[in-house]
Chains A and B, each alone.
Chain A
Amino acid sequence: MQNFQGTLIDTDVLVIGAGAGGLFAALSAKRNGPPGTRVTLIDAWQAGRCGHTAFSNAWTVVVTPDDDLELITREIIAGNDMVCDQTLVRNTLAASYDRLKDMEAFEMSFAKDEKGQYIRRPTRGLDATRVLYPNGGGLEFSWRMRRGLEAAGVQVLDRIFVTGLMRGANGDGVIGAVGINSRSGDFHVLKARATIVCTNAITFRSGFVRDLTGTGTLLAYKAGAKLRNMEFSYTRPSTPRFYFEGIAFAIQEGARFLNAKGERFMLEYEPKWGDESDVPRIARAMAIEKQKGNDPLYLDMSGVPEEKREYFIQSKVKWMEYFYRKLGKETRTDMFGSAPYYALNQMTKGGVATGAECRSSVPGLLVAGLAQAGACNHFAGFHIGMCIGTGWAAGKSAIEDLQKLAAPKLDAAEVHGLHAETYRERDDAAQALSDQALKNLQQLMFAYDVSVWKRGDRLEKAQRRLEEIKADFAACAAPHTHELVRMKETEAMLLAAELILKASVMRTESRMSHFREDFDARDDKNWLQWIDIHDEHGTPRLSTTPIPTPILAAGEPASKKVQRVVRGAA
């Protein structure tokens, strides 16, 4: 074995990824662990300043003691077409008020009215659920959490990009990770008794600021964890010229979706909710309109009253505030006229299969945030809510497991193998060319008739195209660390695309954000099941697991009072 240099970090609980899930996983492990428990939080960039949470408005669903927990739980489950983990949803909601108090203890403030009551707003597609928003948005949220964690004794390490999970000498679980400094490329071994992956959803460099890849989920898959819900690709429509948080509110204030003929097409597709339908239903309707040739499609904000417009321009999200200010008059014209609109924010709802305690099937490996499949949800405000809830649950479970897990023991051969694998694509003489593979992948996976409005033959054609893209990518190499990191991300995205397409072919029905033109109805008789995927010597194996329904049965209305129709039920 060739010698190499590296840094070893030895900890009890390793948390990978510093978004809402990771921040709360680290907090939970520190709070629930006995004094002296070592907790290490790492991020590929600067924890607290980067990632999807930092760039979001960090709205979060909070169930206060006066709310109807049961009703909110049931409407979120029904609204997600029974796909999410019901127990996890309830646990998350039940603990959300305590988590709010944790955040306030870190001097985070939430918008309140003149009477000192929290300002709470409804979110698209839900009746009883209310969201709260922290002042300063995601940047403030993430930074205050980071500083709070450091004060509590959590080791926070920036710029460590994880390239593999370790199984160790005993080989029966995960004992940490290996990675590189995302600038210098220096090798790191992170030995841990429990490892929590919190690396966000899988996307193809999408998200608010096109920064998401979901690499950690795929590393967990390669380390033996089962993935679930890969077919529920969620495509969030937006405008190509500007993006703003608060489309749900804009619609409440009079914004409308229009097609090229000026028709309010959402009324035809979703008579009950119209423009206030949940996001996947809007994406579906838009895809069908596109197929009919009724595009371009628009978000018409001209109906938003003049006095309410400033609210949307003065974003609470810092990067959007800069964005609007710099676009100036153009934004105002575009925003409150008819802005072309299409689905461009693809985010896979798939992740690692865990129970409600966020343990994966691999001992020592826990998963939280959007890297976790039970968080299969598309409601604004409940993404952060679920990340907070799963992060807390994973941190608590990790502490419980510390007593049961064998002491981690490094396996020199494995570390050497992971080191070789990490630097496999490095070649000083190469040219950085992987962007082309990424562009081709995006073109394939964002296509409206593959990502939103699916059909068997089109999915199979996409699978063949994916093989070509993979073959081109295989010839790429990395002349520097910057390209090496991007290549690792692209490699993970290519694998994710393969799994998404396979699961999409298998699910012969339409549910939540998975819509099949050739199976355009929800089929509870055959498909009240999750599709799980595990790696068998490099080949993905698909299987199904019946979805447990301990809280809400299929077809049962979320509320007996509201008598909400479960849309699309077969």
Chain B
Amino acid sequence: MIETIDLPRCTGCGICDIVCPADVIHMTGTPVDSEVPGITTQKLLPVIKFREHCITCFNCEIFCPEKIVDVHPVVKSHPRAW
């Protein structure tokens, strides 16, 4: 299940969102300070919106160009009826 995305190092490229097959990560406009005082930049940053639906496919981590996504290998959504 996805654990963290190191946001200060995130470039906002959006690949983690695009490659997620479970709609877990949503790029979201986040206000950040710009170099010009008084001007706020809307930066698109990933938000782990539906963590509980992560299927541990590792796509976000595999394809992140900055290598800042961490998926924990333990799968919590396994059906265990036996």
Contacts and interface: CB of A to CB of B under 8 A. Distances in A.
A217 B81 CA distance: 25
9 contacts: A210-B78, A240-B78, A290-B82, A295-B82, A322-B73, A326-B72, A326-B73, A447-B81, A447-B82
A344 B19 contact: no
The winner among B18, B20, B71 for most chain A CB atoms within 10 A is B18
A342 B52 CA distance: 23
B58 A204 contact: no
Contact of A485 (B19, B23, B79, B82): B23
Interface residues of B, number: 29
A209 interface: yes
Binding site of B, secondary structure by majority: helix, strand, loop or mixed? loop
Interface in B27-55: 49-50, 52-53, 55
Contact of B81 (A211, A242, A318, A446): A446
B50 A49 contact: no
Interface in A278-318: 290, 295, 318
B58 A323 contact: yes
Contacts of B49: 482
Contact of B61 (A322, A446, A486): A322
A55 B57 CA distance: 8
Contact of B57 (A211, A443, A451): A211
Interface in A130-155: 139
B7 interface: no
Interface string B1-37: 0000000000000000011111100100000000000
Contacts of B56: 209-210, 319, 323
A443 B23 contact: no
Contacts of B81: 442-448, 451
Query: Interface range on chain A: under 10, 10 to 19, 20 to 34, or 35 or more?
Result: 35 or more
Interface string B51-71: 011011111011100000001
A294 to B, nearest CB: 13
Nearest to A297: B82
A165 to B, nearest CB: 23
Contacts of B23: 45, 182-183, 482, 485
A443 B55 CA distance: 18
Nearest to A447: B81
Nearest to B61: A322
Contact of B63 (A49, A206, A442): A49
A206 B52 CA distance: 16
B79 A50 contact: no
B58 A50 contact: no
Interface in A365-394: none
A311 to B, nearest CB: 19
A205 interface: yes
Given A49-B63, A482-B50, A204 B55 contact: no
B82 A342 contact: yes
Given A322-B58, A323-B73, A446 B20 contact: no
Nearest to B72: A326
Contacts of B20: 45
A447 B80 CA distance: 9
A50 B62 contact: no
Nearest to A237: B82
Nearest to A318: B62
A49 B79 contact: no
Contacts of A21: none
Contact of B59 (A49, A242, A342, A443): A49
Interface string A434-471: 01000000111111100100000000000000000000
Nearest to B20: A45
Nearest to A328: B73
Interface in A190-222: 204-206, 209-211
